[in-house]
Amino acid sequence: MDTANLQILLIEDNTKDFVLFEKYLNEGDYHLTHATSLENAARELEKKTFDILFLDLNLTDSSGIETLDKITETVLHNTPIVILTCLSDEEIAIKAVRKGAQDYLIKSELNSSLLLRSLHRSIVRKKAENELIQANKLASVGMMAGGIAHDFNNLLAVILGYSEFGIKQSNNQLITNYFDAISRASNTAKQLTQELLIVSRNRPSHSISCNLNSVLVRMKESVLRILSDKIKIDLNPQTNLWNILIDESQIDRIILNLCLNARDAMPEGGVIQISTENLHFPNGYIKDTIKLSTGNYVKLVIKDTGEGISNLNLEKIFDPFFTTKSKSEHAGTGLGLSITHGAVTEAGGQIGVESHVDEGTSFNLYFPIHGEDNIDIVNVPVLEKIQDKPSYKILIVDDNQDLLDMFNLYFEDSDYHVQTESNPLKVLKGDYAYDVDILVTDILMPHMNGKEFAKLFQEKFQKTDIIFISGYSKEILTENDEMLNTFHFLCKPFKPDDLLAKIQEILDGHKLNQ
């Protein structure tokens, strides 16, 4: 590990022990600060951030395990603490380690080698511990976010459907405007649920080979539109830039989030400097939180000339829901940088941040390359408008009656014969015959799992095409489940037109195979 300019705080009231401690550290490039009491230590901790603390449990103003309890209330949670103790206090020192201290050293056995080994080991161990805590925190937030997004997507499917239906049916411009406003708000809410699903890592990824230079040129004008007139963008792309593999919507979101973050850091205006660079690391690369293995990478830097970020906030900058913004015009959810971190990681990359108060902030992103040729982003083909709908029989099964009512209304004037049912068990009882061309079924229902229902339906009645629908993404539902991969899928919320397009896609496929 890099020990240059390491900041160490020694809390020790014995002058002789301090002199000895200082002597053992002379071999390294360290900055040692001495505090003789908890009160003095608290003042030092207010002045700056330390990389590690060495703590004597018995001080003039505190003694025993209470000393550790008091100092942990003051020090940053990610700062490792090493206990200094006499032989007679070893039992208390062990108890301190169980309460969160990284190590303990017996003063009478202390030497330079032992001290330096403990110093390095404690910092590395604490960092690994913090990374695990962060991973667990993100996993917990992800599970919560995924559950909320699932339920919210079911509601949005109904709202979007009715608002689109109202826009098409209304002959009153004022009423049409009302429905249009509902539709716009619903689509905004849809984007929010997508962000929640990104945090929970439940959104399917569609990665393609893309060139960051092409992305930046395409996005520059749209980014400028959301910035202040006082903010300029300075693009410095490297020629012949290598390609990376990433979800196209994700790289757009990454760049947009970081530019918005830069905008908020420069209320009086400034410059956003964006650069790209090809990098080769024959022996890997390690700096702060960045740890790259040997290979070729594309580096993206987005740097602002704003107010900078304090050390206290810098360590929490990628935490979900953490924000330094007040309730102002640009105050957000606190998810932007967390989502950015997740998107970069999902693409196999890494992101780091460097910042100094009043000097600006630089976000440095590293992506592994994909291939050797410069292949620009390929446009995704758009499904053409559906025409000539013949008469086919569709069965829609979902426990959300509001959604079924909306589908009945939507397909009322169509050439499709649509039946709806909220209870799959009722369908399987066979009280009346189902002659169905396509079965549309929700996956998570209280009466029966949609996958089990679809299987039993095909066994009892007929082999038919199946479209699964769910408020969860296909990616999480298909994990360790091959069945869903063999059928069609729509993720809620979707517009009725999306279902109609999927139906037509299936039927057109049958025509081609005839």
Q: Check: CB of residue 296 under 8 Å from CB of residue 367.
A: no
Query: How many H-runs (helices) and E-runs (strands) does the chain carry?
Result: 16, 19
* Main-chain phi, psi angles of 34, to 5 degrees: -115, 130
The pLDDT score that the predictor gives to residue 10 is 93
Q: What span, in angstroms and rounded, lies between the C-alpha atoms of 258 and 266? A: 13
- Give the containing element (helix H, strand E) for 313: helix 311-314
Query: Which token pair is 477?
Result: 């539902």
**Residue ranges of the chain with pLDDT lower than 70?**
1-4, 27-28, 76, 87-88, 132-148, 150, 191, 194-206, 225-226, 320-335, 372-391, 430-434, 473-486, 510-514
Per residue in 278-313, pLDDT (tens digit) is 998 888 888 877 888 888 999 999 999 988 888 878
For residue 105, list its beta bridge partners: 84
The pLDDT score that the predictor gives to residue 506 is 85
Q: Check: CB of residue 292 under 8 Å from CB of residue 350.
A: yes
Q: Check: CB of residue 438 under 8 Å from CB of residue 391.
A: no
- Give per-residue burial for 333-353: e unless 16+ CB within 10 Å, then b: eebbbbbbbbbbebbebbbeb
Query: Which token pair is 30?
Result: 């360290």
Q: Report CA-CA distances (Å) from 415 to 387, 389, 390, 396.
A: 11, 6, 6, 16
C-alpha radius of gyration, the chain, whole number = 30
Q: What span, in angstroms and rounded, lies between the C-alpha atoms of 367 and 297? A: 5
Q: The whole model's pTM is what? A: 0.42
Show the DSSP H helices in 77-111 as ranges. 90-98
Q: Check: CB of residue 199 under 8 Å from CB of residue 335.
A: yes
The pLDDT score that the predictor gives to residue 138 is 64
The pLDDT score that the predictor gives to residue 402 is 86
The pLDDT score that the predictor gives to residue 382 is 31
- Greatest Cα pair distance, the chain, in angstroms, is 94
The pLDDT score that the predictor gives to residue 331 is 44
The pLDDT score that the predictor gives to residue 377 is 30
Q: Report CA-CA distances (Å) from 281 to 100, 286, 297, 477.
A: 37, 10, 8, 38
Q: Report CA-CA distances (Å) from 384 to 113, 127, 407, 498.
A: 72, 53, 22, 12
Q: Report CA-CA distances (Å) from 494 to 91, 153, 157, 470.
A: 62, 9, 6, 10
The pLDDT score that the predictor gives to residue 361 is 93
The pLDDT score that the predictor gives to residue 91 is 78
Cis peptide before 446 (omega within 30 of 0): no
Sign of CA dihedral 93, 94, 100, 103: positive
Burial of 461 (0-12, 13-18, 19+ CB in 10 A): middle
The pLDDT score that the predictor gives to residue 397 is 92
